[in-house]
């Protein structure tokens, strides 16, 4: 680990500032509050071959986080992957003025006070060398996929407008809000997946999960997900295409969601994603 907060809570069970997940891949688990409910949040930091850092969904930049990040390397890219995970982008832009700020399509209009280097190209599915933009990372190392198949039924605009990422060297899939993995009330990591991550030490068991968080999980699993699929997916073919990339084309060995527990293992991850997105 890099840094220690000295206490363990459900949304940061190890109490660490940064936790190594794979070779050159770290996460920063933090509380993330919605109406006073801690729904948990997770930043992902990847060390590139040149020693620079790629930061996904940045969290609050407190002093402990600054110290840990600076021990790892130089922040070169900061990515805000959807319309919701942008709260701390300004902090990181101010602290690391030399870093290139990247966002999902349309994000620069939502946060015009940030000097964005660019946005992930709209509708990007299978990047090629031609998609490598100026002052951007190598898309053949960290592959972006824009989920442009949704529309908010109330305003006709994209809802999350999320971009997910696949880190080829570590075979890690990084999601924001398209997939979540909140634990059950028993506090055992991934108990609902007929297994546990206790053995790898990433998410020790707790006595219980807070009642508000359990209520949030119920709402996301039983209400929001079905509403999203039924009323927000406006391009079924595009939906099937991006899910096929996630489930079949990317050989994911570690699934890193921004919300909930990390999942290990290619077979288990494929089953989880297929069930979540309801494909054959």
Cα angle value 63/66/67 (rounded, 5°) = 90
Region of poorest pLDDT, from 63-72, 124-133, 197-206: 197-206
* CA dihedral (64, 167, 75, 147) positive or negative: negative
Strand ranges (DSSP E) for the chain?
Answer: 2-4, 16-22, 25-30, 33-34, 37-38, 41-47, 52-56, 74-80, 100-103, 118-119, 142-146, 163-167, 172-175, 254-257, 263-264
pLDDT value at 9 more than 50:
yes
> What's 90's DSSP letter?
H
Beta bridge partner(s), residue 119: 103
pLDDT value at 201 more than 80:
no
Pairwise CA distance, residues 101 & 133, whole Å: 13
Taking alpha carbons only, the member of 36, 54, 61, 148 closest to residue 101 is 54
Pairwise CA distance, residues 57 & 87, whole Å: 9
Residue 245 Cα distances to 132, 137, 172, 173, 205, angstroms: 19, 21, 13, 11, 32
> What's 96's DSSP letter?
-
| Section 209-218 average pLDDT | 87
| Section 40-66 average pLDDT | 96
Pairwise CA distance, residues 144 & 104, whole Å: 10
pLDDT value at 195 more than 60:
no
Q: How confident is the model at residue 50 (pLDDT cuts 50, 70, 90)?
A: very high
pLDDT value at 2 more than 50:
yes
pLDDT value at 197 more than 60:
no
Pairwise CA distance, residues 23 & 26, whole Å: 8
φ/ψ (deg, to 5) at 198: -55, -35
Residue 279 Cα distances to 175, 199, 225, 236, 252, angstroms: 18, 30, 14, 12, 17
Q: Do 35 and 22 contact (CB within 8 A), yes or no?
A: no
Q: DSSP states of 210-270 as a string?
A: -HHHHHHHHIIIIIIHHHIIIIIB--HHHHHHHHHIIIIIS--SEEEESSB--EE-HHHHH
- Please tell me whether residue 126 adopts helix, strand or coil conformation: coil
What is the model's pLDDT at position 258? 95
Q: Do 201 and 106 contact (CB within 8 A), yes or no?
A: no
> What's 159's DSSP letter?
S
Domain 2-277 has CATH 3.40.50.460: no
pLDDT value at 49 more than 80:
yes
pLDDT in tens, 233-277: 999 999 999 999 999 999 999 999 999 999 999 999 999 999 999
Q: What pTM value is reported for the model?
A: 0.94
Q: How confident is the model at residue 280 (pLDDT cuts 50, 70, 90)?
A: very low
Region of poorest pLDDT, from 93-97, 169-173, 227-231: 227-231
């Amino acid at each position: 680990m890099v840094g220690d907060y000295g206490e363990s809570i459900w949304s940061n069970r190890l109490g660490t500032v940064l936790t190594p997940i794979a070779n050159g891949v770290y996460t920063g688990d933090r509380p993330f509050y919605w109406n006073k409910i801690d729904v948990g949040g997770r930043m992902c930091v990847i060390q590139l071959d040149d020693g620079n850092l790629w930061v996904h969904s940045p969290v609050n930049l407190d002093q402990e986080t600054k110290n840990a990040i600076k021990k790892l390397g130089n922040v070169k890219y900061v990515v805000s992957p959807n319309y919701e995970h942008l709260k701390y982008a300004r902090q990181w832009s101010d602290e690391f003025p030399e870093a290139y700020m990247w966002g999902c399509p349309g994000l620069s209009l939502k946060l015009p006070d940030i000097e964005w280097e660019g946005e992930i190209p709209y509708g990007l599915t299978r990047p090629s060398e031609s998609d490598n933009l100026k002052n951007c990372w190598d898309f053949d190392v960290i592959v972006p996929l824009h989920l442009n198949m949704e529309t908010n039924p109330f305003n006709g605009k994209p809802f999350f407008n999320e971009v997910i990422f696949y880190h080829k060297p570590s075979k890690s899939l990084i999601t924001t809000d398209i997939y979540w993995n909140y634990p059950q009330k028993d506090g055992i990591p991934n108990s609902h997946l007929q297994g546990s991550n206790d053995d790898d030490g990433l998410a020790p068991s707790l006595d219980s999960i807070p009642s508000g968080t359990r209520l949030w999980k119920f709402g996301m699993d039983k209400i929001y997900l079905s509403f999203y699929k039924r009323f927000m997916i406006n391009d079924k073919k595009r939906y099937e295409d991006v899910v096929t990339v996630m489930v079949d084309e990317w050989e994911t060995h570690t699934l890193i969601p921004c919300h909930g527990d990390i999942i290990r293992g290619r077979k288990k991850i494929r089953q989880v994603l297929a069930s979540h997105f309801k494909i054959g």
